[in-house]
Structure 1
Amino acid sequence: MRIENLLRQNAVRRGDELAVIADSASLTWAELDRETDRLAHALIDRGHVPQERVALVLANDVQVVVAYHGLWKANLVTVGINPKLTVPEMRRILVHSGASAVICDSPVAVEAAAGAPSVRRIITVGDLDGGERFADVVASGAPEPVPETGSGTDLRSLRYTSGTTGAAKGCMATHEQQLASTANYLCEVEVPRGGPTWISMPLSLGVGASFVTTTAYLGVPLLLRRRFTPEGFVDDVERHGVVHAFLVPTMLVDLVAALPGLDPARARTLDLVGYGGAPVSWTLIRSLTERLDLRLYHAFGATEAGGFTALLTPEDHRRFLRTDVSSIVPVGRPAAFAEVKIFDERDREVAVRETGEMRIRAASVFSGYWCQPEATQKVLQDGWLRLGDMAWRDEDGYLYLADRAQGVIRSGAQNVYAGEVEAVLQSCPGVHRAAVVGVPDERYGEAVKALVQLVPGSAVTAQDVLDHCTAQLSKYKCPREVEFVDTLPVDDGGKIKRAELASSAGMALLGTKESS
């Protein structure tokens, strides 16, 4: 089965119901089906052949959903590119993917495409110059259904990794892999069908794009916004009857901070909120659930994993919140159709509460890196995905992420995993965001230094942070130094950009407040 089959079914079953709600327009399932047929015909008529790559550099609006489904109907491969990238960064992806066309809404993307030899067509959204107008291209296509071509094993997308630990790599994913990922997620989390799913994460990112498939699978509207503000979010919930949203942790922090000034009754339809991408604290979760009557779930995955492989379900949240929680928040337990095991350096499964390399096996796991067989062989071995994530498991099977292997700080004879320390720092009251880095130490080689961004108005001191860590971490894992900063570099998923932390230039941009 292919993803566009879901759209065709919804056009028949619920044609007059809304499929997409966005800033510029809203479309019903029948209208979305017709617009995507037109786009597919137009691209085929212009000479694009099955499995060619077409890049999308689009902000969240109705055009990005039309583009995804239209390209899939034409059996083309989508290459989602973050609109925030620079010209050289975009151009590297265009060149590496061999994209034959670019659909975009920014002059940066037009400039990047103009310098990519494989790109023979630029299609622009809105009044942007430099190519054919998207609306004109769609209007030129026939409205008749596109004949079904290809199979579920065809490539559906290349999703490029963030590249924080090296050059970005294109993760190959098929239609069947995405559908397996969606089914795995939905059998673990009961997503209500009584209203829209709200997303402001860029649909060029893996998580954001996955909800194009999820909402088509469920037959519910996808409500897209370009940015998150607490007031705007609550307005959308009240106006459109939003029942489900997926937010990054920074959005949760901002929402909790704004709730005292908002009427919770305006968000009464909101039933389920998912989050992921960076550590959160039980304090934050408790504050949110005390103010809003909703269910929460945490989703953990990776681009290479093809979706969510571990989930902390609403039931898991209720279980932890019934206790006096002071520990870090687990990423969840393995999803129903995903195997997750933890191994030591000798390929032996580790015991409970021992840290090792996490390996994943699931039908959703990607097919490999585009045109990079050696890199593929390093992460796909004996049927297991090995990304270098370090984790441990408790007695009840909950997984706790220590960190990426590249985030290990070597202090004396001990490995300190940055993610584990950051999760504890994040649970400290008054801390908005935190990161740790290894700094030179004459005796131990490296020592742990914490970079902490406080909640506005917080009176937390460096000693408070150190005391909080001492209560939860072994001595060798505790930061030796705390530096308060104005901001920390994060990506669109809320994850710390370690490459920027590791560079002196990146450190200079942090803006020191005080240190102790």
Structure 2
Amino acid sequence: MNLFNNLCEYLDFHATNRGDVMMSSDANSSLSYREARDYVQRIAAALQSSGIAKGDRVGILAKNSVDNFCVFLACARIGAVAVGLNYRLSVDELNFIASDANIKLLCFDSEFDELRGEYLQGKPGVCIDGDIAGTASLAAWLEGAGTFNDVAVTADDTLFHMYTSGTTGRPKGVLISHGNVLINCYQAPLSSGVWSRVGERALVIAPNFHAVGLVGSLMGVIYGSSLVIHRDYDPVGMIETLANERINVVAVIPVMLQFSMMMVPNIKDYDFSHLHTINYGASPIPESLLKECMDTFGCDFVQGYGQTEATMALAFLTAEDHRRALASEPELLRSCGRAVAGTDIKIVDDAGQEVPRGEIGEIVARGPQIMQGYWNNDEATAKTVVDGWLHTGDAGLMDERGYLFIKDRVKDMIISGGENIYPVEIENHLMAHPQIDDAAVIGIPDEKWGEVPLAVLVSGENPPLSEGELEAYCRGKLAGFKIPSKLEYIPGLPRNPSGKILKKDLRQLFADKYGF
């Protein structure tokens, strides 16, 4: 049972009891909780005046902003379902998602006008940040909208409809309820030990079409904290805001920290005394980077593991775990922690049977934050959630203490001469080399072994390694069959918004050369 039935009841509570506290701000505007409640109600009225009813899908194709977030909250207010659209996708990809979701209204930033494909061009649109010929601006759309009609919204009603990143095949629409979010926002602080506080300032960088950015922002509303919203990730801007805006907590991916440390040579001159926690996810953090960041920022670090189908969080590696790792157990930094409260995690084989501790298999999880299912795709839902257990598609192992270690995506596993190779193990070793800025490993066809590893590297300003030098570096540290047989350099690895490497894009890039 939840304290409240839906997300917006928390907004109302804070507006009534601490209305002057800032809810959110960006480069252009700032709203207190009272102002935000009133603004959200105006947008809700405009949605209803435009014919949007409970259960209807509203697309949001926009970068992070106060207006973007308030449009989302207004959808929640009337039981409509927001569909955050990834503006990094192509017109065809967005057209598929928009039509699949049956979006009835699109709210978008002017810079993404050209991303409106055939389907969205045929639907009403509202320009959030400006004026476009033939499309109402947000301000004009709100004029004369009247008063919104209150709608009964329960914990079981869908809050948002978010598409998977599509690392394999077509993206699927994940349905997350109000209850899923509320429960996960209770589980996360209880398990991580990091609680949002009234008025505490959180920096929002991750995009709101991604679970970390959206659910992290919603957690701020639930607990009454203040969101400082960045439109984009900027390595220097992040550091300046952390210091100058007295930020208390921020969620990042490790590569963001790496870039910021590189781009701000005088970073130790900044005052980070207000910062108490950096949350990170999508990948482990190298021990050398963690030590450098802890020395620079002087705060706690917490790693989260989850996926869209689990609302946000399934496990956490706590601040205490990080301190213990640096003191005496460095292997813990390869772990993503232990299951959040109220969640069971186990490792299973291909037959769905639990394997002994320490053995690799697929990670499956069961808990109240697991999705309602995939939109209009009962077959995929039945394959993904079996007897209440979410099959994550991640390969991993669990040690005797319950710590979870991600080895790779099941579908990214390389089988070479009958041996299973998990690319992440090789990538972690490669990333420790001082001349390698970034690394990914994929399998390529081989007549003798079936598949062999290909290392795709980014050297940055460092001189590139030869294949011989790479082999020498790996020899003795990795089993012979795990040493990359081929080596390629590219300017940067393709990643999705959560920071995960898009292995399918790498395969496409080298398909002709290696005969995929």
> Following the alignment from structure 1 to structure 2, what is the Cα–Cα distance between the partners of residues 377 and 236?
44
Matches within 5 A, 1:100-111: 100-106=104-110, 108-109=112-113
What is aligned with 1:43? 47
Does residue 179 in structure 1 map to residue 182 in structure 2? yes
User: For residue 335 of structure 1, what is the aligned residue in structure 2?
Assistant: 340
- Kept in 1, the 8 Å contact 2:395–2:408? The answer is yes
Q: Which residue of 1 is the match for residue 386 of structure 2? A: 381
C-alpha deviation, 1:109, in angstroms: 4.5
1:200, 1:71 → 2: CA distance?
Answer: 22
3-state DSSP class of the match of 1:215?
Answer: helix
Decide whether the 8 Å contact of 1:280 with 1:423 is kept in 2.
no
Q: Deviations over 1:76-126 (max 9, x none)?
A: 000000112221111111100001100001354565255348x64211122
Q: CA deviation at 1:472?
A: 4.6
1:443 counterpart = 2:445: no
Q: CA deviation at 1:328?
A: 5.9
Q: Secondary structure at the match of 1:371?
A: coil
Q: Does 1:72 align with 2:94?
A: no
What does 1:310-349 correspond to in 2, within 5 Å? 310-323=315-328, 325=330, 329-349=334-354
Match of 1:167 in 2: 170
Deviations along 1:134-184, one digit per CA (max 9) or x if unpaired, are 122234333x67524221111111100111200011001110011111111
Distance 1:507 1:492, change over 3 A: farther
Matched with 1:513 is none
Q: Which amino acid aligns with 1:218?
A: Y
In the alignment, the residues of structure 2 paired with residue 383 and residue 296 of structure 1 have an alpha-carbon distance, to the nearest angstrom, of 32
**Match among 278, 281, 285 for residue 276 of structure 1:** 281
CA contact (8 A) 2:44 2:148 kept: no
Equivalent of 1:254 in 259, 262, 266: 259
- Alignment partner of 2:93: what SS? helix
Q: 1:296 to 1:169 in 2, by over 3 A?
A: same
Closer, same or farther: CA 430–328 of 1 in aligned 2, 3 Å: farther
- 1:182-203 deviations in whole A, cap 9, x for unaligned? 1111112213536311121111
Q: Is the 8 A contact 1:410 1:446 kept in 2?
A: yes
Q: Which residue of 2 aligns with 1:503?
A: 508
CA-atom RMSD in angstroms: 2.3
Identity of aligned residues (%): 27
- Deviations along 1:222-250, one digit per CA (max 9) or x if unpaired, are 11112223331222123321000011122
Counterpart position of 2:220: 215
Change (3 A) 1:42 1:20: same
For residue 357 of structure 2, the aligned residue among 327, 352, 356 is 352
SS at match of 1:267: coil
The answer to whether the aligner puts 1:18 opposite 2:29 as a matched pair is no
Q: C-alpha separation between the residues in 2 aligned to 1:506 and 1:64? A: 39
- Select which of 153, 158, 163 maps to 1:150: 153
TM-score of the pair, normalised by structure 2: 0.92
Relative distance call for 1:455 and 1:253 in structure 2 (3 A) is farther
1: distance between equivalents of 2:373 and 2:266? 48
Residue 173 of structure 1 contacts residue 306 of structure 1 at CA under 8 Å; is this kept in 2? Answer: yes
Alpha-carbon spacing, 1:408–1:464, altered in 2? closer, same or farther (3 Å): same
5+ residue gaps in structure 2?
A: none
Deviations along 1:368-402, one digit per CA (max 9) or x if unpaired, are: 11011111111011110113211112233221111
- TM (normalized to structure 1)? 0.92
Provide the rounded CA distance (Å) in 2 between the counterparts of 1:384 and 1:415.
25
Q: Secondary structure at the match of 2:207?
A: coil
In the aligned structure 2, how far is the partner of 1:279 from the partner of 1:251? Answer: 13
Which residue of the partner structure matches residue 266 of structure 1?
Answer: 271
- Asked whether the 8 Å contact 2:106–2:120 carries over to 1, the reply is no
Alignment partners' CA distance in 2, 1:178 and 1:468: 45
Match in the other structure for 1:293: 298
Distance 2:177 2:13 in 1: 20
Letter in 2 for 1:378: K
Give yes or no for the alignment of 1:6 onto 2:2: no
3-state secondary structure, aligned to 2:310: coil
Give the whole-Å Cα distance in 2 for the aligned partners of 1:140 and 1:301: 42
Q: Is this contact kept in 1: 2:321–2:332, CA < 8 A? A: no
Among 362, 371, 376, the alignment partner of 1:371 is 376
Query: Distance in 1 between the 2:467 and 2:274 partners?
Result: 41
The 1:474–1:339 alpha-carbon spacing in structure 2 relative to 1, beyond 3 Å, is farther
Q: Which residue matches 1:400?
A: 405
Q: Does structure 1 residue 240 correspond to structure 2 residue 242?
A: no
Distance apart, 1:262 and its partner CA: 2.1
Q: Which runs of 5+ in 1 are unaligned?
A: 509-516
- 2: CA distance between counterparts of 1:478 and 1:327? 24
Larger CA deviation: 333-342 vs 471-480: 471-480
1:199 aligns with 2:209: no
- Distance across 2 between alignment mates of 1:293 and 1:135: 43
User: Counterparts of 1:88 and 1:206 in 2: how far apart (Å)?
Assistant: 23
Q: What do residues 351-370 of structure 1 show as CA deviations (whole Å, max 9, x unaligned)?
A: 22211011010101101110
Q: Write out per-residue CA displacement over residues 57-92 of structure 1, whole angstroms, 9 at most, x where no aligned residue.
A: 011111111111111111100000011222111111
Amino acid at match of 1:271: H
> Matches of 2:346 and 2:137 in 1, distance apart?
49
| Comparing 387-396 and 189-198, the one that deviates more | 189-198
Can you list the C-alpha shifts for 1:191-220, whole angstroms capped at 9, x where unaligned? 353631112111111111112211011211
Instruction: Report the Cα offset of residue 305 of structure 1.
Output: 1.3
Matched letter for residue 223 of structure 1:
V
The answer (yes or no) to whether the contact 1:282–1:427 under 8 Å persists in 2 is no
1:96 aligns with 2:97: no
Question: What is the count of residue pairs matched by the alignment?
Answer: 506
- After superposition, the Cα gap between the structure-2 partners of 1:430 and 1:271, relative to the gap in structure 1 and judged at 3 Å, is farther
Match of 2:271, SS state, is helix
Q: Deviations over 1:335-360 (max 9, x none)?
A: 12211100112332112221101101
Q: Please state whether the residue corresponding to 2:42 is helix, strand or coil.
A: helix
Aligned pairs for 1:121-132 (under 5 A) are 121-129=124-132, 130-132=134-136
- C-alpha separation between the residues in 1 aligned to 2:374 and 2:392? 13
* Conservation of the 8 A alpha-carbon contact between 1:199 and 1:222: yes
Q: Mark the CA change 1:191 to 1:462 in structure 2 (over 3 Å): closer, same or farther.
A: farther
